[in-house]
């Protein structure tokens, strides 16, 4: 834009008073000439001469005064006008500069908005093309086109591109605030975040949101509960169909997160569908994977026990490893990487939340630790259904498990007698004797007299330096306490090992 030309005003160049004086001087000279002519015309009459002289002098003085006054006024008006014109010109220049600046800011804002849009388009385009860097494609949203099937690399790259788009918009924050009246850019960021959430929900990671999806026929924790009950029924059926003196159950079943990770990758890859919405068809697929990974067999052996011949029923619950099932399902290397990523320990809390329908930030250990110091066992025995105090160590363990939904889905039993808890774990092949090294959230049982009779129960918090740290209800002085034992202590009867 060309510069606006303005007339340069030089200070002290307006000499209104001097100009007036010059004019007055000229008028005076003229009047002097007139006076001389009058004197010449009326030289014979002194009185007339005197009159004329006085008249000329009066007129001369009057004209001089009026001329000077008028020129003074005009001079002042000229100065004022010039000053106002200078101020007006400055304001106009300032206004024009402001407009120029604002136009530039608006252009920058538009450019940044355009940059953000382009970045978002590139992000969307990237997602559409992730077949080049991922295994399969996935849906971006339930109602949108299928964009790309997700892999670990695909999601990470999508996140990077989306972050780039956000950075592009943030870079123009000041201009955007000016152009969009302070805050319009926030909406763009929100849109980008929504797009990213939609991307994740429609990928294999949508499984972590499946319990929140109102459009589902089932919740994942309901399917987990149903399958745990089916496994219990199968064990019970074997026991009912055989004649035996005693039975022993062993179990190496897969963890639930392993079963579900296989289902998620297998189903999303082979059915071109998301795992966010749990339908009847997907429920049956979970069952297929569960029973493909879980087998139950039995055998009766005749053995001598304490000098007598007995029929011993052996029930073996065996689970396939993720490596075994992935080979059986002919998983590609990309699919194997997806399973590996889903089973990363960083997702453990999310798995707890989706499998058991509970707060992902909670666990048996932190809930138990929060109860340390409770005296008398209230509200635990009241929750169980008792009207007055009972020995409440088992009730306490049951209450903690219930807080996480573990009782409803059949992970831990609701029990008041310690022996019932022991038998429940034994019946499912989830029992370990005192030689076992426990892990966090295992259930520890005690035999104080070392007479083969279980007396007490608690929750394992951790194992460290050959010591087992626990939280136990109904401990010394009728109080919930945190305690520790040597891992080889003879008071440890054994452990229940829930399949979390």
φ and ψ at residue 349, rounded to 5 degrees: -65, -35
Q: What is the pLDDT of residue 138?
A: 37
**DSSP 8-state code for residue 135:** S
CA dihedral of residues 255, 256, 258, 263 (deg, nearest 10): 150
- The C-alpha atoms of residue 57 and residue 34 are separated, in whole angstroms, by 11
Distances in Å between the alpha carbon of 297 and those of 233, 239, 249, 316, 498?
13, 11, 10, 5, 20
Domain edges within the chain: 16-103, 105-212, 220-356, 364-496
Return the pLDDT at 152. Answer: 41
Residue 153's Cβ-count burial label (10 Å; 0-12, 13-18, 19+) is middle
Query: What does the angle CA 420 – CA 424 – CA 430 come to, to the nearest 5 degrees?
Result: 135
pLDDT in tens, the chain (500 residues): 444 444 444 444 444 445 555 545 565 555 555 455 545 544 444 444 454 445 444 444 554 455 445 444 544 455 455 445 545 555 555 555 555 555 555 555 455 545 555 544 544 454 444 444 334 433 433 333 333 344 344 444 444 444 444 444 444 444 444 554 444 455 555 555 555 555 666 678 888 877 765 567 888 888 888 898 898 889 889 999 999 998 888 888 888 999 999 999 998 877 656 777 888 989 999 999 999 999 999 999 999 888 899 999 999 989 999 999 999 999 999 999 999 999 988 888 788 788 877 665 568 888 899 899 998 998 999 999 999 899 999 999 999 999 888 998 899 999 999 999 999 999 999 999 989 999 999 999 999 998 999 999 999 999 999 999 999 999 988 999 999 999 999 999 999 999 87
The CATH code of domain 364-496 reads: 3.90.1720.60
Q: Is the peptide bond before 379 cis (omega within 30 degrees of 0)?
A: yes
Are 429 and 445 spatial neighbours (Cβ–Cβ below 8 Å)? Answer: no
């Amino acid at each position: 834009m060309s510069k606006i030309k303005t007339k340069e005003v030089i200070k002290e160049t307006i000499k209104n008073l001097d100009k007036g004086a010059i004019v007055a001087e000229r008028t005076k000279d003229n009047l002097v000439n007139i006076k001389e002519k009058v004197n010449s015309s009326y030289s014979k009459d002194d009185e007339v001469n005197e009159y004329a002289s006085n008249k000329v002098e009066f007129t001369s003085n009057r004209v001089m005064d009026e001329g000077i006054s008028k020129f003074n006024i005009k001079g002042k008006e000229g100065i004022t006008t010039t000053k106002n014109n200078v101020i007006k010109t400055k304001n106009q220049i300032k206004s024009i500069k402001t407009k120029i600046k604002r136009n530039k800011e608006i252009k920058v804002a538009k450019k940044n908005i355009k940059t953000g849009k382009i970045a978002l388009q590139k992000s969307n385009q990237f997602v559409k093309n992730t077949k080049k860097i991922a295994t399969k494609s996935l849906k971006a949203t339930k109602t949108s086109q299928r964009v790309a099937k997700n892999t670990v690399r695909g999601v990470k790259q999508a996140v990077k591109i989306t972050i780039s788009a956000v950075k592009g918009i943030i870079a123009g924050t000041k201009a955007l605030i000016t152009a969009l009246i302070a805050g319009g850019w926030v909406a763009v960021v929100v849109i980008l975040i929504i797009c990213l959430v939609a991307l994740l929900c429609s990928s294999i990671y949508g499984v972590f949101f499946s319990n929140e999806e109102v459009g589902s026929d089932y919740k994942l924790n309901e399917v987990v509960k149903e399958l745990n009950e089916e496994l219990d029924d199968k064990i019970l059926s074997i026991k009912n169909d055989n004649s035996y003196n005693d039975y022993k159950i062993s179990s190496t079943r897969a963890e639930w997160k392993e079963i579900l990770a296989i289902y998620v990758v297998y189903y999303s890859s082979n059915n071109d569908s998301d795992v966010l919405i749990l339908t009847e068809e997907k429920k049956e697929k979970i069952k297929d994977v569960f029973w493909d990974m879980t087998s139950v067999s039995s055998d009766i052996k005749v053995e001598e026990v304490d000098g007598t011949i007995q029929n011993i029923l052996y029930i073996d619950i065996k689970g396939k490893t993720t490596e075994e099932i992935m080979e059986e399902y002919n998983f590609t290397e990309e699919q194997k990487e997806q399973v590996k990523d889903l089973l990363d320990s960083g997702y453990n809390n999310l798995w707890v939340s989706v499998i058991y329908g509970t707060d992902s930030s909670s666990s048996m250990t932190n809930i138990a630790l929060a109860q340390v110091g409770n005296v008398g066992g209230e509200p635990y025995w009241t929750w169980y259904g008792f009207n007055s105090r009972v020995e409440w160590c088992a009730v306490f363990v049951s209450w903690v498990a219930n807080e996480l939904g573990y009782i409803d889905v059949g992970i831990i039993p609701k029990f008041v007698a310690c022996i019932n808890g022991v038998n429940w774990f034994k019946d499912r092949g989830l029992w370990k004797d005192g030689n076992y090294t426990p892990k966090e959230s295992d259930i520890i049982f005690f035999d104080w007299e070392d007479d083969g009779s279980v007396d007490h129960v608690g929750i394992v918090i951790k194992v460290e330096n050959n010591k087992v740290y626990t939280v136990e209800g109904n401990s010394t002085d009728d109080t919930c306490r945190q305690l520790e034992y040597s891992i080889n202590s003879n008071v440890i009867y054994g452990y229940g090992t829930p399949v979390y």
